Structures are given as structure tokens and as C-alpha cells.
Structure 1
Amino acid sequence: MHMTLRQLTLFKAVAQHLSFTRAAAELCLTQPAVSIQIKQLEGHMGMSLFEQIGKRIFLTDAGRELYGACEDIFARIDALEISLNELQGSIKGQLKLSVVTTAAYFTPHLFKAFLQQYPQVHLNLNVTNRTSILERLANNEDDLVIMGQVPERLHVTAHQFLENPLVVLAPPQHPLVEQSNIPLKRLAQETILFREVGSGTRLAIERCFATQDLELQTNMELGSSDAIKQGVMAGLGISVLSQHTVTLELATGALKLLDVENFPLKRYWYVAHLTEKKLSLVARTFLDFLLTNSQNVIQDVYQLLNDGGQGLSELSK
């Protein structure tokens, strides 16, 4: 039996997506090219790896066996690359990260600063919601994950690396903008735009209101922080978001902070991994970078934004 690493790479992608089209797109190939390689692999093995039922494909028993072997093979190759890099003392190789969608507003600045120091690191970034982050964390799919709330039901090691204040936002013309120390009870009367159920930000808000036995009767659920910001600017209601998501809007005056009792809610960003996971040299280096440099990098970004147009041009460099 003769098979190549390329064929195994293509098979693994198809098996993960259960789709030739999505696997081809991920690997920047045409679907026919992927199909030909899989057919050749099946020919070498003498058995089918996928079966088609209707418009969907599924792994056969042989396919499931090969997929398990692929996981093993590529994990060993990754481990070998890490070991060789560590022997050389060089910081290079792949860094697989997943971040919650809210963190995508500030993490690119951290990645830029890190990659300037370690240009031979290849960043593989996945941006998704909290539910998917928890699944990926449980399945050990990434080197590290960045999230706003540490899961209670997983055995993880998590490090605080940056403050994550939650602030109350309103459009500039909102009547509460001019008021001070607004009671939480008054805020509960407003239409509040929320992220989806299960998001870290929403959980924090609900817990805050629950401390005063307040129920949020009037709310609207939107699927992203960008949609919420647009909704607030359009006058659909107010919202509570991480301050990191609204830095630009606050600097330009498109949104205003409300002075509400108990706010900002003091929270933190965490970088986490399964406790039993052995971090690669690249992952350990990135973790150390976050713990040491995050605050200064983000403060510099805020300063540039507050400096106006010149600052924005500097950020794009």
C-alpha cells in the first residue's frame, strides 16, 4: 500500500468538513483535484473511505480508522517539528489560536506586536463564539484560546492577561447621556440589545442585574457586537459591551458611555488551555508575551486612537 502525506492531508480535511467543496476551499484547491486524490487513496487501500447518502457524505468504517490514524500521524509530525525547533532554540512554527468574537477587536494588535518579534511563527487563527470555543477547548483543537470567562466544567489552566471592562453604551442623543450615577433599576426599564444566549458578556450582565433581583423585560438579541453597535447608533436601544469593542466609536463620538452604578463591570481577558496539555515552545513564548506585554500594547493603541487621524494612520502601518 502506497499513500502520501498530501493525500492524507486532503483526506483529513474532507473528513473534518464532510464536504469535498469546503475541504477544497480550505486548501485552496479545486474540488476535482481533491476528489482525484481521494479516489487514488481509496485505490491504494482497496476500500471506500466515504459513502454518499443523498447529498451528504459520511465516513465508512475504514474512513474512521484512517482518520484516527491521521490524527496520530500529524500530531507526531507536529511534535517532531516542535522538538527540532526547541533543540535549535528557535521560535518558529505554527501557533493555533481560537479567540471569542469580542476579542477580535483588540487581539490583532497583540498578534502584530508578537509577529514583529517572531516573524517565523505562522499564526492559524479561529474567531468564533463562546460555545464553539468551549467545544474546541474540550477537544484540544488549539494551542491556546482567548476568552472572557473561564469555563467551570473543564479542567483548564487560565491566566488573566488584560482588563476587560464592560461599559454601558447609548447613542449621543439618548436622554440618559447627561445623567450621573444612573440606578441599575432605571437601566432595566430601557430596551437593552444583547448578544446570543451563552455569550460571556450576556452572562455577566444577567448576573449583575440578578444581584438586585432585577429582570430584563425588554431586550433585543443580535448576533454580533458589530450588529449591536449599529443598533445602538440607530436608536434601537442601549447595550453593554466590552470597552475594547467600542474604542473607535467612543473616540469619534458615535457612541457615548452612560454613568451607571456598579459600572464598568470589572472583568478580565484570559488565555487558557487544558491543564494536562504540554505547550509547544511557540505557544509558551506567546503566552509569556501576552502576560508581559498586553497592557502596554493596548494602551499604545488607545493613545493613537485618542490622538485622532494621525493616530489612525499610524495604526495601519
Structure 2
Amino acid sequence: MRYTLHQLEIFYKVSKLQSVTKASEALFLTQPAVSIQLKNFQDQFQIPLFEVVGRKIYITEFGKEITLAAEKILGEVNAINYKALSFQGELAGMLKIAIVSTAKYVMPYFLTDFINRHKGVDLSMDVTNKAEVVRSLENNEVDFALVSTIPKHLKINRIQLMDNKLYLIGGKQYKNTEKYISNTEFEQLPLIYREQGSATRNKMEYFIASNKISTYKKMELKSNEALKQAVIAGLGYSIMPLIGIKNELKNGDLQIIPVKKLPMTTEWNLIWLKSKNLSSIAKGFIDNINENKNEVMKIHFKWFDEYL
């Protein structure tokens, strides 16, 4: 057998993501390139590594065994590369971050300079809901988390990055008079919520409860993108973070509906456990954030000032 590390990495990524499309995106390769190398890898085994049923790929039991072996091999290769760079005086290793789903519109801008400056640093960024982010931080599975609500039961250090503003949002079908809507009018709106465990869901429920608003036709969606598309389609209305709807506001697909006591404003915070023994990479990232966060805000988030 003469398979390459490149083929092994491709198969491992396909196996973990169970999708050629997602693997190609993660590896920054075209789908045909991934498919060709996946076939070349399979051709070296007489036993199937995977099956394709319909348009979905399923990893066989043999394939799962190869996946476990590939994980160990690739881990050792990365360790060699990290050690070589470390001996050259460069930062090298894995930076692990967990972020809430809406933070995907924030975190990449604060990572770009650091990752580009340190070629030996690899990034693992898990995008999930608040409950899972806090769990992974608490279990010491990640170096940092980006959240808009600080977990009170954990002793953490933090760096405040920027404001997180939440507005009532509707599609272009809504006839906006630019006057504050009353609670009675609010109660007539079919509302769409994020899933349980989402910080956005918690803030929306807090606003509705504190203003004694009776909800109507409550719907629930598990991602900010799905919720956004539902509002655009006219399925309902939602209280959403401004950060994730910049383009839709600009092109008129979404609009802010004036409501008294909105926007609610929280803060995006990069947090880590006080007890965490930070690696040189983590310390370097903190230094980079403190040095560049104001410039990042100026370049990428100046548009925030357009909305009061």
C-alpha cells in the first residue's frame, strides 16, 4: 500500500464530517479533488471504507477503524511539525475556541491577524449553543470561549471585545411606520425563537417576560441562519443580534421594528478559566487581542454606529 498522508487526511475529514462537500470546505479543496483522492485511497483496500446511499455517505465498520488509526497518525505528524517550529522559536500547536453560533460573525475578525502571523498555529473552533460552549470551557476542552453572557458559576478572566445589540426584526413585508409599536401590536406578531440553551433565546424570553407581553404562535429554530431565513420569508418575527444581519438590513430583506426598551445591549467577551494553565499560544493570542482589538473594531465594525 502506498497511500499518502494527504489521502489519509482527506479520508479522515470525510469520515468525521460524513460529507465530501463539508470535507472539501474544511480542507479548502474542490469537491472533485477530494472525490478523486478518496477513490485512490479506497482503491488500496479490498474492504469498503464507506458506502454511498442516495446522496449520503456512510462509513463502514472497517472505515471507522481506519479513521481511528488515521487520527493517531495525523496527530503524531502534527506533533512533529509543532516541535520543529518550536525549536525554531515560533509559536506552534493548536488553539481551541468554542463560540456561540452568533459569534461566528465576530470571532474570525479577531483571529485573522494572529493566525496569519503564526503559520504554525492551527485553529479548532467549535460553533454551538451557549450551554455547550460553557460545558466545553468548564471541562477544560478549549482554551477560550466567546459569549455574550458571562457564566456566573465559573471563575473566569475576560476581555471585552464589543457590544452585542438585539433588536426586534421583521421581513420586508412588515409596514414600518417608524413609530414604536405598542405591547398590544407586539402580541399580534408570530414570534420565532432560537432553541433552548441559546443566549439569544434567553434574552428574548427575558424581554417578553419583563414587559408582560403574551406571545403568539411560538416557533423554534436551531440556528441563527435558519431563523434569519424564516423571518425573511415572512414566517414570523424575532429579537435578533444586529451582528448577524448586516447584509440583509442593507439590501432590505430585513428591517428593524422600533420597540421601546430595545435594543438590549450585552457584550461579546472572550473568556477563559482563571485556573487555566495557558499555553504560549494562548498567551500570545491574548496579547494579540489586546494589541489589535480597537483596530479590528474600527475596520470591520464601524457600521454598528449606524444603528442606535
SS in 2 for 1:194: strand
Distance 1:148 1:235 in 2: 27
TM-score, normalised to structure 1, is: 0.64
Q: Which residue of 2 aligns with 1:85?
A: 85
Distance 2:236 2:58 in 1: 45
CA 152–38 in structure 1, closer or farther in 2 if over 3 Å, else same: farther
Q: Map Cα deviations across residues 67-113 of structure 1 (whole Å, 9 max, x no partner).
A: 33433333333334334433433246775656444223334433444
Alignment of 1:1-317 (within 5 A): 4-18=4-18, 28=29, 29-40=33-44, 42=45, 48=47, 50=49, 52=51, 57-60=58-61, 63-91=63-91, 99-114=99-114, 118=117, 120=119, 128-130=127-129, 134=133, 137=136, 144-149=144-149, 159-162=158-161, 163-169=163-169, 173-175=175-177, 177-179=178-180, 187-211=186-210, 214-221=213-220, 225=224, 238-247=237-246, 255-256=255-256, 258-261=258-261, 263-271=262-270, 281-303=280-302
SS in 2 for 1:89: coil
The answer to whether the 8 Å contact 1:193/1:237 transfers is yes
Distance 2:48 2:152 in 1: 38
Structure 1 stretches lacking a partner, 5+ long: 308-317
Distance 1:248 1:52 in 2: 40
The answer to whether the 8 Å contact 1:194/1:239 transfers is yes
**Structure in which a larger fraction of residues adopt strand:** 2
The answer to whether the 8 Å contact 1:95/1:123 transfers is yes
Query: What do you get for the CA RMSD once the two structures are aligned?
Result: 4.9
Alpha-carbon offset, residue 292 of structure 1: 4.8
Which range moved further: 271-280 or 294-303? 271-280
The answer to whether the 8 Å contact 1:130/1:147 transfers is no
Name the aligned partner's letter for residue 293 of structure 2: S
Alpha-carbon offset, residue 299 of structure 1: 4.2
CA 63–209 in structure 1, closer or farther in 2 if over 3 Å, else same: same
Distance 1:26 1:247 in 2: 25
Distance 2:300 2:192 in 1: 27
Aligned length: 295
Q: Map Cα deviations across residues 95-136 of structure 1 (whole Å, 9 max, x no partner).
A: 5656444223334433444456x1636775768542896599
Which range moved further: 78-87 or 1-10? 1-10
Alpha-carbon offset, residue 34 of structure 1: 1.8
CA 113–37 in structure 1, closer or farther in 2 if over 3 Å, else same: closer
CA 82–278 in structure 1, closer or farther in 2 if over 3 Å, else same: farther
Alpha-carbon offset, residue 240 of structure 1: 1.5
TM-score, normalised to structure 2, is: 0.65
Structure 2 stretches lacking a partner, 5+ long: none
The answer to whether the 8 Å contact 2:107/2:146 transfers is no
Name the aligned partner's letter for residue 38 of structure 1: Q
CA 89–183 in structure 1, closer or farther in 2 if over 3 Å, else same: farther
Name the aligned partner's letter for residue 71 of structure 1: E
CA 13–267 in structure 1, closer or farther in 2 if over 3 Å, else same: same
Distance 1:232 1:24 in 2: 30
Name the aligned partner's letter for residue 285 of structure 1: G
SS in 2 for 1:255: strand
Q: Map Cα deviations across residues 160-215 of structure 1 (whole Å, 9 max, x no partner).
A: 5323232334578424x323xx7767644433343445433122211333346654
SS in 2 for 1:90: coil
The answer to whether the 8 Å contact 1:137/1:273 transfers is no
Distance 1:233 1:3 in 2: 48
CA 121–100 in structure 1, closer or farther in 2 if over 3 Å, else same: farther
Name the aligned partner's letter for residue 110 of structure 2: L
CA 275–8 in structure 1, closer or farther in 2 if over 3 Å, else same: farther
Percent identity among equivalent residues?
A: 25
CA 187–288 in structure 1, closer or farther in 2 if over 3 Å, else same: farther
